Amino acid sequence: MPRAVIVGANGQDGTLLYQLLEKKGYQIVGIGRSRTTTNTTAWNDMGHVDIGNFTQVLALLKKVQPDEVYHLAAVHHSSEDPVVDPVPLLEQSYSVNVHSLMNFLEAIRRVSPKTRLFYAASSHLFGNPATVPQDETTLINPVSIYGITKASGMYLCRSYRTMYNIFASVGILYNHESWLRGEQFVSRKIVEGAVRCKRDPGHRVVLGDLASAVDWGYAPDYVDAMHRILSLEKPDDFIIASGEQHTVEEFARIAFETLGLDWQNFVDVQSGIITRRAVPLIGNPAKLVQKTGWKRSMDFPKMVETLVKRAEEEHGR
């Protein structure tokens, strides 16, 4: 029976990956922000694991000897989050996005060398790229703290691959959505807003930029890609993206149409809520598709429709 450790198990991707691996018969240790959880009674004595503490991470890997580690934990600051002091944000981001990754890579090297590691990087490591779409050869040139730390994490994985022959693969993830998305994300704001407008015609949904274009995908497909990447013979870096670009306006239109509504009757635009603007990013997943056979289970309109119907069901209970 294969064993996996999921770092960031109570986030969107961690939750979906946990469900996927359970279906595949894995024994799983899930490390979340508040506690460590397992799906096997044999590991119920793991207790709390601080991913920033190397001694604890080393002890975890020595005991569990996992076949796979998925490092999904991250500190992220969205475009609608308030402007914050960059110093503590940088310190916190490096602690989670880089330092904890280093702990796992070094623990694998010392006590569990057969373990395969997946690191969730981000399209933000490309910054404002000159080429569209981006692929694995695109210049890494981050401009945000999030992008800088994710780029650092990718370089760490490459270093351990080269210097110590550790199986450390990187997924460069573009936006991916599910019913588990946090409330600060525009996708969740639109979906929840549309469902509320169906119940309350006086409700208004406030968006910052209707023309903002995003490469959106369906999150369950993206965690499937993670597992496929660790199933390959050799470690590598991969773009995980839809390869398509759609605007916030398109997302809103489809969401409201799913409920039989005209989005223009319910949406207000306030550009001031956008605290940070970036060049649109679109990824080329050709390498992932060619190497793993990965494919999306649904296109963009179907994804939006699925999320709206799921939210409508949840609110109707």
DSSP 171-186: EEE--EE-TT--TTSH
Shared domain check, 139 and 269: no
* Structural domain for 209, as ranges: 186-214+245-281+297-316
Amino acid in the structure at residue 162 = T
Report yes or no on 287 lying in a domain: no
Neighbours of 44 (CB within 10 A): 11
Same-domain pairing of 266 and 232 = no
Task: State the first-to-last Cα distance of the chain, in angstroms, to the nearest integer.
Answer: 37
> What CATH number does the domain containing 121 carry?
3.40.50.720
| 193 shares its domain with 224 | no
**Stretch 272-285: mean pLDDT, rounded?**
78
288 domain-assigned: no
One domain, residues 21 and 96:
yes
Co-location of 27 and 172 in the same domain: yes
Could you tell me if 84 and 194 lie in one domain?
Answer: no
Q: Same domain, yes or no, for 107 and 197?
A: no
* pLDDT for the residue 183: 84
Residues 157 and 262 both lie in one domain = no
Q: Is residue 272 part of a domain?
A: yes
Residue 76 domain-assigned?
yes
Does a structural domain hold residue 292? Answer: no
pLDDT one-digit tens code per residue, 91-127: 999 999 999 999 999 999 999 999 999 999 999 999 9
Query: Is 290 inside any structural domain?
Result: no
Report pLDDT for 317: 53
Q: Specify the pLDDT at position 43.
A: 43
Asked if 142 and 262 sit in the same domain, the reply is: no
Answer whether residue 43 is part of any domain.
yes
- Is 25 exposed, middle or buried, given 0-12, 13-18 or 19+ CB atoms closer than 10 A? exposed
Is residue 25 domain-shared with residue 114, that is, in the same domain? yes
- pLDDT band of residue 280 (cuts 50, 70, 90) is confident
Which whole number is the average pLDDT over 219-243?
Answer: 98
CATH of the domain at 307: 3.90.25.10
Same domain, 136 and 254: no
pLDDT digits (tens, 9 = 90+) for 40-79: 433 444 568 999 999 999 999 999 999 999 999 998 755 5
Residue-wise pLDDT for 173-214, tens only, equals 999 999 999 888 999 999 999 999 999 999 999 999 999 999
**Alpha carbon 48 to chain centroid distance?**
23
Total structural domains in the chain? 2
User: E strand or H helix at 169, and its extent?
Assistant: strand 167-173
Mean pLDDT along residues 206-224: 95
Rounded to 5 degrees, what are φ and ψ at 163?
Answer: -80, -35
- Residue at 291 is within a domain: no
Share of the chain above pLDDT 90, in %: 84
What token pair was written down for 103? 């702990």
Ranges 78-82, 146-150, 211-215: which has the least confidence: 78-82
Do 113 and 142 reside in the same domain of the chain?
Answer: yes
